[in-house]
Amino acid sequence: MEKLIALPIKGEAFLLIRDGKTVLVDGGYNSNDLSRALKIHAPDLKKIDIVICTHADRDHAGGLASLIDISGLTVGEFWLPGAWADSIPELIENPSTTMLGLISELDRTPQDLLKSLPNDVDAVAHHFETVATAERKEANSQKPADDFMEREVPFSYKTLLESLVYWDERPYSDRNYRNYRHYRRLLSRTERAFESGRSQLRYRKAKGKITQSVANYWLELIDAAQAIRAIAAQAIRYGVPIRWFDYTAFAKSRSAQGGNAQFLEPLNSVEQPPPPPRKLSYLAQLSPANEQCLAFLAPADTTRLGVMFCGDSPLGDGPSYANSFLTNKIQPQSLPFVATAPHHGSENNQPAYRHISAWGHPLLWVRSGGSVKQPGATYKAIDPTNRACTHCPQKGLELREAVVHLDRSTLCFRVSSHECVCR
Ligand SMILES: [Zn+2]
Ligand SMILES: [Zn+2]
């Protein structure tokens, strides 16, 4: 039986069962809730063939951080954003370096640029690109050519595994640990590295050097770094292959490639080996930009409904996200599909509905996650019989799974869900 289950947890997590295989797209906020929901809604599940993380926001990535440890399930492959391959080697080998770099970027960001956050991340990222290029030129002019080595960390499970043992498995303890005794247990070196990043932000906030919103923005970058590291660490510890889906390559070529043909295909990324380090600023590496969120399609055919996983993607780029990502994917008009509501139904992603409707005819929108700010007017304007929510945040309904049967021979494809009462 082919089906799509929107799991009843906070944040967003979808389980797809297709061709006898299982795919998990995102994992909500935390691994305990995710594991419990998987046990209830897929009791016979032993192995998830593909685990996708669409982007590093906590409501999608948080629950994948300890998925294997807590659920005891086997994972066949991780499909991850290609941009992460840039930051993972350093995050595994020495998360303190990443924290130092991230805080130092904050200290070096001119005050007027900080004011533009969080709305204009590009301006700040661009500032660091300019600084980095100048620094590299300076370094090149001062040192003889063969003395200047660009740092290139090879992505090797074997070497990274040794670092993991050092950073994660022995709890950190020294004389200073008494300062940390308000924690219930000893922190690992890794946890301590991230915690010291956070405490430096709190210090700057307390001293009035940064505003609360800037502090929050940087705290989100630390959360993203921690989630990325945790997901990669699982892959390395359990020897699970990672497949990389690169948005940047798609943004240039406009041609999505890779994935598993006819089963699950990328919509806005190109599958490729880990790219060489791009030397982006930490801010640019870790910034949660919605248009970089990965989107996938399980294509429809004559026997079954398709599923479009939109994540938080607006499915387009450029001014007002007006340039659709879907122009290169050919959809036979007659084949119906189910779509996940873009960005939890947020009005910011309004162009996505236009792009999807210009491309094909979604039968049903399945919405999960988000806050009382979501969903927005466009989602609410959809005929209520064509939408399902795991919970309708503005009505305070309790969480409930939404299950959709994908076999076209079944008379009723919607099996279980709230009638969406968002209005
Ligand atoms: Zn989200
Ligand atoms: Zn609803």
Whole-number CA gyration radius for the chain:
22
What residue ranges do the domains of the chain occupy? 87-233
The pLDDT value recorded for residue 144 is: 45
What separation in Å is there between the alpha carbon of 213 and the centre of ligand 1? Answer: 19
Which ligand ends up closest to the CA of 26? 1
What separation in Å is there between the alpha carbon of 187 and the centre of ligand 1? Answer: 29
Ranges assigned E (strand) in 173-298 = 242-246, 265-266, 270-271, 296-298
What separation in Å is there between the alpha carbon of 345 and the centre of ligand 1? Answer: 10
The DSSP call for residue 12 is -
Q: Give the C-alpha separation, 148 to 129, whole Å.
A: 19
What separation in Å is there between the alpha carbon of 392 and the centre of ligand 2? Answer: 4
Q: Which residues contact 26 (CB under 8 A, 6 or more apart)?
A: 11, 12, 13, 14, 52, 53, 54, 60, 61, 63, 64, 311
- Count the Cβ atoms, other than its own, within 10 Å of residue 315: 27
Q: What is the dihedral of CA 77, 78, 84, 85, to 10 degrees?
A: -10
What separation in Å is there between the alpha carbon of 420 and the centre of ligand 2? Answer: 4
What separation in Å is there between the alpha carbon of 423 and the centre of ligand 2? Answer: 8
- Residue whose pair of structure tokens reads 């919970």 in the numeric block: 391
Q: Which residues contact 311 (CB under 8 A, 6 or more apart)?
A: 12, 25, 26, 54, 55, 60, 293, 294, 295, 340, 342, 343
- Count the Cβ atoms, other than its own, within 10 Å of residue 273: 11
Q: Give the C-alpha separation, 290 to 273, whole Å.
A: 23
What separation in Å is there between the alpha carbon of 418 and the centre of ligand 1? Answer: 20
Distance of CA 249 to the CA centre of its chain: 17
Q: Give the C-alpha separation, 273 to 340, whole Å.
A: 28
Of 220, 195, 218, 198, give the one whose Cα is nearest residue 59: 220
* Three-state helix/strand/coil letters over 344-408: HHCHHHHHHHHHHHHHCCEEEEEECCCCCCCCCHHHHCCCHHHEEECCCCCCCCCCCCEEEECEC
Strand 316-317 relative to strand 414-416: parallel, antiparallel, unpaired? unpaired
- Residue whose pair of structure tokens reads 């247990």 in the numeric block: 185
The Cα-based distances of 401 to 104, 188, 348, 368, 388 in angstroms read 44, 36, 25, 9, 10
Which ligand ends up closest to the CA of 12? 1
Strand 265-266 relative to strand 242-246: parallel, antiparallel, unpaired? unpaired
Which ligand ends up closest to the CA of 13? 1
Each residue's pLDDT tens digit in the chain (423 positions)? 899 999 999 999 999 999 999 999 999 999 999 999 999 999 999 999 999 999 999 999 999 999 999 999 999 999 999 989 888 999 999 999 999 999 999 998 888 888 777 667 777 777 777 776 777 677 666 554 443 334 454 578 888 888 888 888 765 554 455 555 544 456 788 999 999 999 999 999 999 999 888 899 899 999 999 999 999 999 999 999 999 999 999 999 999 999 999 999 999 999 998 877 777 788 888 886 777 899 999 999 889 999 999 999 999 999 899 999 998 777 666 788 999 999 999 999 999 999 999 999 899 999 999 888 889 999 999 998 899 999 898 888 889 999 999 998 876 666 677 778 888
Of 309, 200, 294, give the one whose Cα is nearest residue 246: 294
Of 21, 1, 25, 8, give the one whose Cα is nearest residue 307: 25
What separation in Å is there between the alpha carbon of 351 and the centre of ligand 1? Answer: 16
Task: Please tell me whether residue 270 adopts helix, strand or coil conformation.
Answer: strand
The pLDDT value recorded for residue 371 is: 87
